[in-house]
Amino acid sequence: MRKPLLAAGQEAAHYEIRGIVKKGFEIEASGKTVYWENIGDPVQKGLHVPDWIRDIVANEVLQSASYAYCDSKGVKSTREYLAAKSTARGGSKVTPDDITFFNGLGDAIARVYGVLNPAARVLMPSPAYPAHSGAEINRIGSKPVSYSLHPENDWLPDPEEVRAVAAANPDVCALLIVNPDNPTGKVYPKHILESLVEVAGEFDLFIICDEIYENLVYRGRMTRLCEVIGDVPAIVMKGISKEIPWPGSRCGWLEYLNRDKDASFEAFCARIDHGKMTEVCSTTLPQRVIPSIMEHPGYTRWHESLNAGLAEKMNNVQKRFNNIPGFECCGGGGAFYSTVHASKEAMNSPVPFHNLSDDQLNLIRSWMKPGLNPDYKLVYYLLAVYGICVVPLSSFGTDYYGFRFTLLEQNNTRFNTFLDTLQEGLQMWTKSEKHPDLIVA
Ligand SMILES: Cc1ncc(COP(=O)(O)O)c(C=O)c1O
* 305-316 per-position pLDDT tens digit: 999 999 999 999
Among residues 117, 175, 116, the alpha carbon closest in space to that of 146 is found at 175
**Domain presence at residue 316:** yes
Ligand 1 within 6 A of 183 CB?
no
Q: What is the pLDDT of residue 193?
A: 98
In the predicted structure, residue 438 carries a pLDDT above the cut 80:
no
The closest-lying atom of ligand 1 relative to the alpha carbon of residue 252 is: 10
For ligand 1, atom 7, the nearest C-alpha belongs to 105
The closest-lying atom of ligand 1 relative to the alpha carbon of residue 240 is: 10
**Domain presence at residue 121:** yes
Cα 241 to ligand 1 centre (Å): 7
Q: What is the CATH number of the domain that holds 35?
A: 3.90.1150.10
Last residue of a domain, one of 265, 295, 325: 295
Ligand 1 within 6 A of 40 CB?
yes
Last residue of a domain, one of 295, 319, 346: 295
Least confident interval from 236-245, 291-300, 430-439: 430-439
**436 pLDDT tier (thresholds 50, 70, 90):** low
**Domain presence at residue 177:** yes
Cα 307 to ligand 1 centre (Å): 18
Least confident interval from 31-35, 129-133, 217-221, 309-313: 31-35
Taking every pair of Cα atoms in the chain, the longest distance, rounded to a whole number of angstroms, is 66
Which of the 8 DSSP states describes residue 8?
Answer: T
291 with 313, same domain?
A: no
Segment 378-394 mean pLDDT: 93
284 with 362, same domain?
A: no
**28 pLDDT tier (thresholds 50, 70, 90):** confident
Q: Which structural domain range is residue 27 located in?
A: 16-47+300-438
Per the structure, the count of domains in the chain is 2
Segment 191-195 mean pLDDT: 98
**Domain presence at residue 364:** yes
User: In terms of pTM, does the model score above 0.75?
Assistant: yes
The closest-lying atom of ligand 1 relative to the alpha carbon of residue 247 is: 9
Last residue of a domain, one of 267, 295, 323: 295
**Domain presence at residue 229:** yes
Average pLDDT, the chain: 92
97 with 204, same domain?
A: yes
For the CA atoms of 367, 372, 374, 376, what is the dihedral angle to 10 degrees?
-40
Ligand 1 within 6 A of 212 CB?
yes
92 with 152, same domain?
A: yes
Q: What is the pLDDT of residue 130?
A: 93
Cα 105 to ligand 1 centre (Å): 6
Q: What is the CATH number of the domain that holds 257?
A: 3.40.640.10
Ligand 1 within 6 A of 334 CB?
no
Ligand 1 within 6 A of 104 CB?
yes
169 with 311, same domain?
A: no
The closest-lying atom of ligand 1 relative to the alpha carbon of residue 39 is: 14
Segment 376-393 mean pLDDT: 92
**Domain presence at residue 61:** no
* CA end-to-end distance (rounded Å), the chain: 40
Ligand 1 within 6 A of 53 CB?
no
In the predicted structure, residue 194 carries a pLDDT above the cut 80:
yes
Cα–Cα distances (Å) from 214 to 45, 100, 245, 299, 434, in that order, read: 20, 18, 13, 14, 43
226 with 320, same domain?
A: no
257 with 123, same domain?
A: yes
91 with 149, same domain?
A: yes
**Among 241, 243, 283, 290, which is best to mutate for testing ligand 1, by the most ligand atoms less than 8 A from CB?**
241
**Domain presence at residue 169:** yes
pLDDT in tens, 71-127: 999 999 999 999 999 999 988 899 999 999 999 999 999 999 999 999 999 999 999
Phi and psi at residue 304, in whole multiples of 5°? -60, -45
pLDDT in tens, 312-335: 999 999 999 888 889 999 989 999
Which long-range contacts link 195-199 to residues 24+ away (Cβ below 8 Å)? 195/159, 196/157, 196/159, 196/162, 197/225, 197/228, 197/229, 197/230, 197/232, 198/159, 199/159, 199/162, 199/163, 199/166, 199/175
